[in-house]
Chain A
């Protein structure tokens, strides 16, 4: 560990939170239908889309109509992507004549990108043509992010409403998030990434003759345009198999910084916009502070773990050869080292992004274990775009309810009484995740067809299984990549887990939003627990950690926990 490493972690996290402020203020205008400086260009396009699709942008939807519209958009998106992947052999821009994906893999990949998970059971450079990358994956990178942002908007309006019965218009929210926010930011920063070295071409291969006379074919393509929205939309599915560890996706410290900031800034921005729209800026500041504190703690823990001695570097033979005992560089790039890899990993697992700049499978047990724990905490630190905000609000609702039970005060949050109906929906949302995750993992841990894909033995193998289902249910998409996930069992069950983790969460959240909207908005009373200070922040952190800890402690203890103590024993400490 060095001071430069700590400075890098602090600077990166600080910059991403700071970038969230202007993005959030701008996003609030988009949610409220306010004027933006892009209106002259995008206004006619937006109105044209509504006319073409027969949408009345003024029409307001109740929670069930809103939810059904979101599901309809996602269903169409799924079928479109599935068709693109299956039929890629017939489409143009396919100079390598790659055939269509087989059904199980196409199903998995389509669900993966529609649910904002972007789990990679495929290897981008050998499986996908440029049409599939652009018209398939990039489209869902935008739309799944816009879906999350739309639901965050609906939830913010629910808190702002006074005996309201509508949450906004799902079609308008998805369209505006895409056109006014994701598209212009991506366009600008895609070009910045190109300037810094990320390729953007319609070619797929370049042939080189190396200095030693060998042939080297370079896989290439429209990387930058996908890379930026992959990060901005907390998608994480890479153009290449090695994801953002690949030098074409992430060639240097500057691209690394931009990609890191992009994957958290918008999630922080959603919290800021929520605070503006629900008239609760002080409370939003608490949510933001909690997110930042926990992701910083995770980054510090991973950094410490990845600079500690490992069995490979500390073995007697390695020590006899004068190998330095750390940092752990297996699976890491020289340009990133332990600190860039640590802060990226904390941000990507905290944010449901899932892109990686180092191979988490090769991390130390504690380093990989912290990444796994971050995903299990529910992808709210700061979470996926939109989904992190609504996940955090669910936690806040639970925290007020629990505090209300403890001290006998009326549970209220942002001027809304929290009663049985809201708490039931909040609990339903938080229970669906562990039920799906642990259920599938338990079956996979004993099923021969599933175990054939597991590459490691003992606790590391268990962690591989746990990580896969956590990543799927949490819609993260990162992996202990030793797992061979392209088999019928894993393709299918992981796709189901991703769909449960996304839609099994969204629907109860929208139902909760509907219930909240219908309530009167009250002025805070002396009897209510204050939710805008350090006291509530620590309560919220406690609820997040205890809930995550209680649900997953046995599994975490048997995976990363056991492996850590085995490792300490092996290197004789």
Chain B
């Protein structure tokens, strides 16, 4: 029984230090010094309403918006209380069929939009394969570039303008080699709306 008191008291005391004092101290310091990041890097509209987090993907389906990747978070995707990947293995027939179907549909719509001339672009893997978290806030630059003609047509903007907006919200790898280049979908769509308010001209709906 000589072990019981040391073990019991030590675990409870260390629990108080590491499980209460430590996380509450970090919370306090973070809330004072770094409130934006500590509260989820939220973006608010002019009225102060939260429109989302810079870090968390959200669903976009209108033609005038940059579309995010496929999502397995929750039933409808982009449920930020139910993060998840598809967990389909590379040989899974459901994965192979889904990618084939989505790629065919994408290629068809891109061919229509590029009738004005940019030719058939190749499709980036991230445009047809879904993310690990189901909440990926980014798409690859190639994925975004392929969507630019559709966005330009829907918003009746010159393609170059849309391409510029995408370029302005493209981030390269850290130090030039850590991670991959990426385009933040919500940031691009906010910039597009700022440039060209949603009510300014009728949008095609897909």
Give A contacts to B, CB under 8 Å: 4-5, 7-8, 11-12, 45, 49, 52-55, 68-69, 72-73, 75-77, 80, 123, 125-126, 134-136, 138-139, 141-143, 171, 174-175, 178-179, 182-183, 186-187, 190-191, 194-203, 205-212, 214, 216-220, 222, 224-226, 229, 240-242, 245-248, 251-254, 256-257, 310-313, 315, 317-318, 320-324, 326-337, 339-340, 356-359, 361-365, 455-456, 458, 460, 480-482, 563, 566-567, 570
Provide the bound-state CA to CA distance between A201 and B42, in Å.
13
Provide the bound-state CA to CA distance between A248 and B38, in Å.
10
Q: Considering the complex of A and B, which 7 residue pairs feature the smallest CB-CB distances, nearest first?
A: A253-B179, A317-B100, A245-B132, A321-B107, A242-B83, A337-B180, A53-B9
Provide the bound-state CA to CA distance between A41 and B58, in Å.
46
Known: A324-B124, A340-B180. A206 touches B131 (CB 8 A): no
Known: A194-B26, A199-B40, A248-B56. A481 touches B85 (CB 8 A): yes
Provide the bound-state CA to CA distance between A194 and B81, in Å.
20
Judged by a CB distance under 8 angstroms, whether B59 is at the interface is yes
Provide the bound-state CA to CA distance between A203 and B51, in Å.
18
The answer to whether B125 touches A327 (Cβ under 8 A) is yes
The answer to whether A212 touches B140 (Cβ under 8 A) is no
The answer to whether B91 touches A218 (Cβ under 8 A) is no
Segment at the A interface, from B12-20, B149-157, B161-169: B12-20
Known: A194-B37, A330-B86. A253 touches B178 (CB 8 A): yes
Judged by a CB distance under 8 angstroms, whether B27 is at the interface is yes
- A357 CB contacts on chain B under 8 angstroms: 132
The answer to whether A482 touches B81 (Cβ under 8 A) is no
- B117 CB contacts on chain A under 8 angstroms: none
The answer to whether B7 touches A312 (Cβ under 8 A) is no
CB proximity of A191 to chain B, nearest CB, Å:
6
- A242 CB contacts on chain B under 8 angstroms: 73, 83-85, 132-135
Provide the bound-state CA to CA distance between A77 and B13, in Å.
11
- B4 CB contacts on chain A under 8 angstroms: 72
- B87 CB contacts on chain A under 8 angstroms: 331, 359, 361-362, 455, 480-482
Provide the bound-state CA to CA distance between A125 and B99, in Å.
29
Known: A191-B29, A216-B52. A241 touches B122 (CB 8 A): no
The answer to whether B15 touches A80 (Cβ under 8 A) is yes
Provide the bound-state CA to CA distance between A80 and B16, in Å.
12
The answer to whether B133 touches A333 (Cβ under 8 A) is yes
- A208 CB contacts on chain B under 8 angstroms: 42, 50-53, 58
Judged by a CB distance under 8 angstroms, whether B158 is at the interface is no
Name the contact of A247 in the complex, choosing from B86, B124, B137 (C-beta under 8 A): B137
CB proximity of A171 to chain B, nearest CB, Å:
5
The answer to whether A567 touches B20 (Cβ under 8 A) is no
Provide the bound-state CA to CA distance between A149 and B174, in Å.
33
Provide the bound-state CA to CA distance between A53 and B9, in Å.
5
Name the contact of A245 in the complex, choosing from B29, B131, B173 (C-beta under 8 A): B131
The answer to whether A201 touches B40 (Cβ under 8 A) is yes
The answer to whether A218 touches B81 (Cβ under 8 A) is yes
CB proximity of B78 to chain A, nearest CB, Å:
7
The answer to whether A323 touches B178 (Cβ under 8 A) is no
Provide the bound-state CA to CA distance between A196 and B54, in Å.
12
- A246 CB contacts on chain B under 8 angstroms: 83, 133, 135
Judged by a CB distance under 8 angstroms, whether B139 is at the interface is yes
- A202 CB contacts on chain B under 8 angstroms: 27
Known: A194-B34, A212-B60. A76 touches B85 (CB 8 A): no
Provide the bound-state CA to CA distance between A328 and B92, in Å.
14
Question: Which of B3, B132, B180 is the most central at the interface, judged by chain A CB atoms within 10 Å of its CB?
Answer: B132
The answer to whether A334 touches B182 (Cβ under 8 A) is yes
- If A171-B10, A214-B59 are given as contacts, then 12 extra A-B residue pairs at C-beta distance below 8 Å, sorted by A number, are A4-B177, A138-B23, A211-B52, A245-B133, A256-B179, A312-B129, A330-B85, A330-B88, A331-B86, A333-B132, A334-B131, A567-B90
Interface members, chain B 51-105 (any A CB < 8 Å): 51-62, 65, 69, 73, 78-92, 95-96, 98-101, 103-104
The answer to whether A311 touches B90 (Cβ under 8 A) is yes
Provide the bound-state CA to CA distance between A461 and B126, in Å.
25
A-B contact pairs, 24 of them (CB 8 A): A142-B18, A143-B15, A186-B22, A198-B37, A209-B49, A210-B52, A210-B58, A211-B58, A218-B81, A242-B84, A246-B83, A246-B133, A253-B178, A312-B90, A313-B128, A317-B101, A320-B107, A328-B125, A334-B131, A334-B182, A357-B132, A361-B89, A362-B90, A456-B92
CB proximity of A254 to chain B, nearest CB, Å:
6
Name the contact of B26 in the complex, choosing from A11, A126, A187 (C-beta under 8 A): A187
The answer to whether B65 touches A190 (Cβ under 8 A) is no
The answer to whether B14 touches A143 (Cβ under 8 A) is yes
The answer to whether A139 touches B106 (Cβ under 8 A) is no
Name the contact of A330 in the complex, choosing from B26, B130, B177 (C-beta under 8 A): B130
> Which A residue sits closest to B176, measured CB to CB?
A4
Known: A143-B14, A210-B58, A211-B65. A216 touches B131 (CB 8 A): no
The answer to whether A191 touches B30 (Cβ under 8 A) is yes
Judged by a CB distance under 8 angstroms, whether B204 is at the interface is no
Provide the bound-state CA to CA distance between A121 and B186, in Å.
32
The answer to whether B99 touches A52 (Cβ under 8 A) is no
Provide the bound-state CA to CA distance between A226 and B54, in Å.
21
The answer to whether A195 touches B37 (Cβ under 8 A) is yes
The answer to whether A134 touches B180 (Cβ under 8 A) is no
The answer to whether A313 touches B9 (Cβ under 8 A) is no
The answer to whether B179 touches A178 (Cβ under 8 A) is no
Provide the bound-state CA to CA distance between A364 and B39, in Å.
37
Known: A200-B38, A334-B140, A340-B178. A482 touches B11 (CB 8 A): no
The answer to whether A218 touches B40 (Cβ under 8 A) is yes
CB proximity of A221 to chain B, nearest CB, Å:
10
> Which A residue sits closest to B138, measured CB to CB?
A334
Question: Which of A68, A256, A310 is the most central at the interface, judged by chain B CB atoms within 10 Å of its CB?
Answer: A310
